C-alpha cells in the first residue's frame, strides 16, 4: 500500500474487555467529518454485549496473531492506506500493524504492552488480575466484575457512571491476548514484538491518560521513547486526569479530535515529549 494521498478511511481497533461498540461515539463523529470509518470487533466477538457475555466459545482462545491478522486483512482490502487508531491492546496492535507497513498514520491510545516495555506499575498488575490470577485463564475469556471494571477502566467516574459504562460495553476478555502481552519480554518470538528502529513505518502518535490505571502515562511514555532511534515520526501527548475509559468518558470529543487532527497533519509536539522526527 504505497498511495500517500490524504487518507479517507479510519480503522478503529478496540481493546481487551471491550468490543467495537466502545468506539460508537467516535464513529459518528468521524463520519460527520466525511470519513469512512471501519470499527470491527476482534475475531469471534461480533454481536451484542449480552450474547458475548452468555457464550464465549467463539473467542475463548484467540490470540494476538488472530486479532492483528484480521485487521491486516481489512486494511489490505482498502484502496489506499487508512489512519489506524487503537485503544489499549488495540493500540499495541496499531503499533504492530504500522511496523508491518500498514497505514498512513497511527494513533496509539492508552497502549497495551509490547515487547521491550518494562514499566509495570502495581495498578497495571491489579487491573489484569482477573485473567492473570490463573494460568487456566490463558485459554478462556474472563469477565471483570463491576468493581474490577471501575478500578481498571473508570476510576475517575462515579460508581453510578461506571456501572452504566460496564452495562453497555464490558464483555469477557480473551485471556490468551493478555497472557501473550504479559509474557512478551520473556518470549523471543513474541507476537507483540516491534522493530522500534523501523525507519519506513507511518507516523505514530501516543496518547496517554494522566489517571489511567491500566496503561499508565509512564508506560506509554516509555513505549514511545523506544522509537527514539527510528527516523520515522513518533510523538507523545498526555491528557491529564483521564482514565483508561478515555474513549467514552466525558470529554472524549477532545481526545478524538486531537487524534484525528494529528493523524491528518503528523508533527512533533513541542513541550510534549516529541520522540523522533523524520
pLDDT tens for 37-61 read: 999 999 999 999 999 999 999 999 9
pLDDT of 118 strictly over 90: no
pLDDT tens for 69-78 read: 999 999 999 9
Residue-wise burial string across 192-214, b where 16 or more C-beta atoms lie within 10 A, e elsewhere:
bbbebebeebbbbbbbbbebbbb
The domain locations on the chain are 9-264
Q: What is the pTM of this model?
A: 0.94
Residue 41 has phi, psi (to 5 degrees) of -80, 165
pLDDT score at 130: 86
State the average pLDDT for the chain. Answer: 94
CATH number for the domain formed by residue range(s) 9-264: 3.40.50.1820
Confidence of residue 278 (pLDDT cuts 50, 70, 90): very low
pLDDT score at 245: 98
pLDDT score at 208: 98
Of the ranges 1-15, 131-145, 146-160, 176-190, which one carries the lowest mean pLDDT score?
1-15
Amino acid at each position: 500500500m504505497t498511495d500517500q494521498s490524504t487518507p479517507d478511511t479510519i480503522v478503529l481497533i478496540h481493546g481487551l474487555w471491550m468490543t467495537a461498540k466502545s468506539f460508537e461515539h467516535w464513529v459518528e463523529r468521524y463520519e460527520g467529518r466525511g470519513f469512512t470509518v471501519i470499527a470491527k470487533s476482534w475475531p469471534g466477538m461480533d454481536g451484542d454485549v449480552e450474547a458475548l457475555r452468555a457464550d464465549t466459545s467463539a473467542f475463548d482462545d484467540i490470540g494476538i496473531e488472530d486479532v492483528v491478522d484480521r485487521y491486516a486483512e481489512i486494511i489490505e482490502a482498502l484502496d489506499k492506506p487508512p489512519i489506524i487508531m487503537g485503544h489499549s491492546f488495540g493500540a499495541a496492535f496499531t503499533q504492530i500493524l504500522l511496523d508491518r507497513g500498514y497505514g498512513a498514520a497511527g494513533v496509539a491510545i492508552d497502549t497495551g504492552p509490547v515487547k521491550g516495555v518494562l514499566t509495570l506499575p502495581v495498578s497495571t498488575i491489579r487491573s489484569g488480575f482477573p485473567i492473570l490470577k490463573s494460568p487456566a485463564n490463558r485459554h478462556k475469556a474472563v469477565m471483570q466484575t463491576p468493581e474490577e471494571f471501575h478500578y481498571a477502566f473508570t476510576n475517575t467516574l462515579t460508581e453510578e457512571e461506571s456501572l452504566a459504562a460496564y452495562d453497555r460495553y464490558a464483555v469477557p476478555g480473551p485471556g490468551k491476548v493478555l497472557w501473550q502481552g504479559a509474557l512478551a519480554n520473556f518470549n523471543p518470538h513474541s507476537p507483540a514484538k516491534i522493530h522500534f528502529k523501523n525507519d519506513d513505518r507511518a507516523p505514530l502518535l501516543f496518547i496517554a491518560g494522566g489517571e489511567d490505571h491500566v496503561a499508565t502515562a509512564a508506560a506509554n511514555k516509555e513505549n514511545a521513547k523506544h522509537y527514539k532511534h527510528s527516523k520515522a515520526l513518533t510523538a507523545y501527548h498526555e491528557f491529564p486526569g483521564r482514565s483508561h475509559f478515555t474513549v467514552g468518558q466525558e470529554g472524549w470529543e477532545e481526545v478524538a479530535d486531537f487524534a484525528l487532527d494529528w493523524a491528518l497533519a503528523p508533527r512533533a509536539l513541542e513541550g510534549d515529549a516529541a520522540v523522533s522526527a523524520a
